[in-house]
């Protein structure tokens, strides 16, 4: 957000920046609003298609660099309707986003009792959750996640994050309706906070994509300064999901290297300070890995850890990834784990696998082999 607008891609400009642009070329400010609506509301990124703008203006927009920053390479559909969209950015980097039609038992976000859109009249439309990426690769190096296997290539700019939303909207079926956005694709959204926050503001803009903060969930490995900024900048209104995955620091440090920097205590302190609105809860993501973090004792320890916090635990049986000896917990162990949590009155749900026949499930979004990596994750001992 600190960059001046002229060095940022125009797809990441806010309405006031478009108004300033309109003025700078001698046009009335409402022209700026029209352009913003074309881009973010209509999803039209090609100036030639902005039919109510005069030719010179459209040419000006092209000269400014307005255009789609990504192209779809492939869209693969899983048996359950999940679609993984592989995109190539103008830099040549490839990223993925995933369109997930929601069913009652796959809701990743709490239904909002105050939201009129949840009334039965509109409930007949198929709601869709979109999972988007914030980085090409990932620097966090979680041992069970494919995205981090090749390290981080680069963070995405806000316009590249927004472009995924606009692209995915073009891939919706007529009856489908984009309801939720989850920052759970490739990368760590709080690792480069400013671009993520800028993209979120654009997604929320009522003149644009217009998805409210309660329908946006940011998932983080637990970067405490980022959680604090998010709490401050969005007043706790955004959904927050924490990838905890372990009931103590010893286990967590083995599977989530970032735990060496921000321990479980540090993260829980940040969660206690998060200004959650009424009736909202923070999601604790917990990937169950056979023999690593999935015993009934671990569940008890987790329940004790979370006591007094407004959270719900989302249990994710680990999805298989190549080059890893780690495997998913058995159905019995998952059920037992869930039972212990329920007995301790910790609200929990089991995330159904979505799209794993096209490698679109959690942690399966991976980089194509990369040559220029910024940093590869450190190998871990003990597993």
Which residues are catalytically annotated? 96, 362
Distances from the Cα of 192 to the Cαs of 156, 261, 321, in angstroms? 9, 16, 26
The residue number whose beta carbon is nearest to ligand SAH equals 363
Is residue 316 a contact point for ligand SAH (CB under 6 A)?
A: yes
Nearer to ligand SAH, 140 or 202 (CB): 140
Is 220 a binding residue for ligand SAH by CB under 6 A? The answer is yes
Q: Which residues contact 146 (CB under 8 A, 6 or more apart)?
A: 321, 322, 359, 363, 364, 365, 366
- Counting contacts by CB under 6 A, is residue 219 touching ligand SAH? yes
Phi-psi sector, 308: left (phi>0), alpha (psi -120 to 50), beta: left
Q: Which residue(s) pair with 1 in the sheet?
A: none
The distance of closest approach from Cβ of residue 80 to ligand SAH in the complex, given in angstroms and rounded to an integer, is 16
Interface of this chain with ligand SAH, residues 120 to 159, rule: CB under 6 A: 140, 142, 144-145
Q: Is 362 in the site for ligand SAH (CB under 6 A)?
A: yes
CA dist 174 and 126 (Å) reads 9
Binding mask 238-257 for ligand SAH (x = CB under 6 A): -----x--------------
Told to check if 32 binds ligand SAH by CB under 6 A, we report no
Query: x/- contact string, 270-289, with ligand SAH (CB under 6 A)?
Result: ---------------x-x--
Of 221 and 276, which has the nearer Cβ to ligand SAH?
221
Q: Which is nearer to ligand SAH, 150 or 219 (CB)?
A: 219
Q: How far is the CB of 145 from ligand SAH (least distance, A)?
A: 3
Residues 187 and 138: their CA atoms lie apart, in Å, by: 5
Strands (E), 212-305: 216-220, 239-243, 282-288
Match 């940040």 to its residue by tokens: 270
Candidate list 200, 318, 341, 346; residue touching ligand SAH; CB under 6 A: 318
Which range, of 24-32, 76-84, 101-109, 311-319, touches ligand SAH by CB under 6 A?
311-319
DSSP structure string for 149-183: TT-EEEEPPHHHHHHHHHHHHHT--TTEEEEEEEE
State the Rg of the chain over Cα: 21
Asked if residue 188 binds ligand SAH (CB under 6 A), the reply is yes
- Pull the structure tokens for residue 141: 């190096």
Which of 91, 70, 64 minimizes the C-alpha distance to 159? Answer: 70
DSSP state of 143: T
The reply on whether position 234 binds ligand SAH by CB under 6 A is no
Chain centre distance of CA 243 = 12
Interface with ligand SAH (CB under 6 A): 140, 142, 144-145, 184, 188, 219-221, 243, 285, 287, 316, 318-319, 321, 362-363
């Amino acid at each position: 957000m600190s960059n001046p607008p002229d060095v940022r891609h125009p797809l990441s400009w806010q309405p006031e920046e478009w108004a300033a642009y309109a003025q700078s070329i001698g046009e009335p400010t409402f022209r700026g609003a029209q352009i913003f609506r074309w881009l973010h509301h209509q999803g039209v990124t090609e100036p030639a298609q902005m039919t109510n703008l005069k030719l010179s203006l459209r040419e000006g927009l092209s000269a400014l660099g307005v255009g789609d920053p990504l192209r779809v390479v492939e869209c693969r559909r899983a048996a359950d309707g999940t679609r993984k969209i592989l995109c190539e950015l103008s830099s040549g980097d490839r990223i993925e986003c995933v369109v997930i039609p929601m069913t009652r038992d796959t809701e990743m976000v709490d239904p909002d009792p105050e939201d009129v859109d949840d009334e039965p009249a509109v409930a007949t439309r198929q709601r869709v959750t979109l999972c988007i990426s914030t980085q090409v690769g990932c620097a966090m190096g979680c041992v069970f996640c494919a995205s981090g296997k090749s390290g981080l290539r680069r963070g995405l700019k806000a316009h590249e994050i927004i472009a995924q939303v606009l692209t995915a909207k073009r891939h919706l079926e007529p009856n489908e309706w984009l309801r939720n956005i989850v920052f759970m694709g490739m990368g760590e959204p709080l690792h480069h906070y400013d671009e993520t926050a800028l993209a979120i503001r654009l997604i929320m803009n009522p003149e644009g994509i217009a998805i409210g903060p309660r329908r946006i969930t940011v998932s983080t490995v637990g970067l405490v300064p980022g959680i604090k900024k998010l709490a401050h900048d969005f007043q706790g209104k955004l959904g927050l999901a924490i990838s905890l995955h372990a009931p103590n620091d010893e286990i967590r440090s083995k599977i989530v290297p970032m735990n060496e920097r921000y321990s479980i205590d540090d993260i829980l302190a940040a969660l206690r300070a998060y200004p959650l609105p009424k009736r909202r809860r923070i999601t604790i993501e917990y990937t169950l890995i056979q023999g690593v973090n999935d015993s009934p004792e671990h569940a008890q320890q987790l329940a004790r850890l979370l006591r007094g916090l407004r959270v719900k635990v989302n249990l994710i049986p680990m999805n298989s990834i190549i080059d890893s000896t780690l495997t998913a917990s058995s159905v019995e162990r998952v059920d037992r784990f869930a039972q212990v949590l329920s007995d301790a009155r910790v609200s929990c749900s089991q995330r159904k696998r979505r799209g794993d026949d096209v490698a679109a499930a959690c942690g399966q979004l991976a980089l194509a082999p990369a040559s220029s990596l910024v940093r590869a994750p450190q190998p871990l001992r003990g597993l």
